[in-house]
Amino acid sequence: MVDVQDLAKYPFLEEAQDYVRRESGTLDILLKSERNRILCECAVKRVVDALSRKNPLECRVYGRDAQEDLFSYVISRMLVSCLNDRLLIERLSQFEAHKAYLSFTEEENTDREKIARAIGIEIGQNSMPVLTYVPLVSGLHEERWKLVNRSVKDGRVFLLRIEAEELVREQMREIIRERLPLSVPEDVCRQFRSYIEAVAAAAQQQALEEFGDVDESSFPPCISALITAVTAGTNLPHVGRFALTAFLHNIGLSTHQIAEVFQRAPDFDLSMTMYQVEHISGRSGTEYTAPACATMRTHGLCVHRDAVCEKVNHPLSYYKRKKKMHE
C-alpha cells in the first residue's frame, strides 16, 4: 500500500508512519507556510468532531487532499498530547478507529485481509489465539465476547469472519490509543497555543452540553463531602483539592465558578485559588480529569458510599447517572 490516499485512510499503520517520517520535512515546511493555518484548523476540527462523537461517515477527509488529511491526523494527536486530557485522548482514539473501520468495510476481501494482517489479526482463518483474543475483547461488554461463551480448542478461539472483522476495529482503537499521549516538545506545544486553546474551549463546551446545568444534588457523596469540608474551613490535602477542582471543571464549571465554591472557605485566598484552578483546568497546557473511584479510595476520599456508587467506577459516571434519575 503506497498510495497516500490509502495511507490517509489508515494513518496508524507503519507504512503511514514511515510516510510521515519521510515527509516530516514537508510537514515542517508546511507548518511554517501559509498552509499551517489550514492544517491546524483541520486538526482542531478533527478533535472537535471526535469530542462531539460525530458520525465519521460525515467527515471522511480533513483538508483539501489526502496528504493534508494525513498531516491533520498527526497534528490532531499532537494537540491532544499537549493537553494530555484523558477524555480527549479516548474520544479521538475511538473516532479515528471508527473512521478507519468504515474505510476497511469498503475494501475488497483480499485488501481487508492485508490490512487486518498488518495490525496482527488473521481474518481469513476461523479462529485466533486466546492470547490475542483476550486483550482484544477486554473493552467489549457484550456477553457473546466473553471467553466462557466461546468455543476454544488447542489455545484458539473460534470466530466467524464477521466477528474477526469486528475485532479489527478494537485492534485499530488499541493501536491508536496506546501511542498517546505523544511526547511533544514544549516549544512545539507553545507554537500550537491558539489551537490548543480552541480545543480546550470546545472540550469545556462539550462538557456543559453533556452534563447540562449544574445540579449539586446529583454530586457523588465524595464530592459533596469535599465541598462540606471546604465550607467548614478544613484545609484540604492537595489530592482532595485536586479531585474537587477537576470534577467541577469536568462537569463544565468555569474557573470563576469553581473559585466561588472555594470562596466558601473561611481562609479563602482568591489569587492562590485562581492559580490552582487555572493550573488544573488547563491554562498551563495540561487538562486534568477527576480521579476514578479506585484512586479516590486509595487516598481515603471515597466516603459515604451509597447505592449508586455500587454501579459506577468514576465520580463523573455517578453524577451523570444520578442526574438522569432526577430528570
Binding site for ligand SF4 (CB under 6 A): 220-222, 293, 296, 302, 305, 309, 312, 315, 318
* Nearest Cα residue to 319 out of 222, 239, 179: 222
Rounded least distance, CB 95 to ligand SF4, Å: 27
Rounded least distance, CB 225 to ligand SF4, Å: 8
Nearer to ligand SF4, 38 or 309 (CB): 309
Nearer to ligand SF4, 220 or 252 (CB): 220
Nearer to ligand SF4, 239 or 309 (CB): 309
Contact 151, 124 (CB under 8 A): no
- Count of other CB atoms within 10 angstroms of residue 74: 18
Listing DSSP states for 5-71 in one string gives HHHHHSTTSHHHHHHHHHTHHHHHHHHHSTHHHHHHHHHHHHHHHHHTT--GGG----SSSHHHHHH
Nearer to ligand SF4, 42 or 223 (CB): 223
Rounded least distance, CB 274 to ligand SF4, Å: 26
Rounded least distance, CB 218 to ligand SF4, Å: 11
| CA-to-CA dists, residue 208 to 2, 136, 202, 252, angstroms | 43, 33, 10, 5
Nearer to ligand SF4, 130 or 309 (CB): 309
Which grid coordinates are listed for 128?
485466533
Q: What angle do CA 109, 113, 118 make, to 5 degrees?
A: 150
Nearer to ligand SF4, 56 or 315 (CB): 315
Rounded least distance, CB 243 to ligand SF4, Å: 9
Nearer to ligand SF4, 150 or 305 (CB): 305
Contact 105, 51 (CB under 8 A): no
- Listed in sequence order, the DSSP H helices in 52-147 are 66-83, 86-105, 109-118, 130-137
Task: List Cβ neighbours of 151 (8 Å cut-off, separation of 6 or more).
Answer: 157, 158
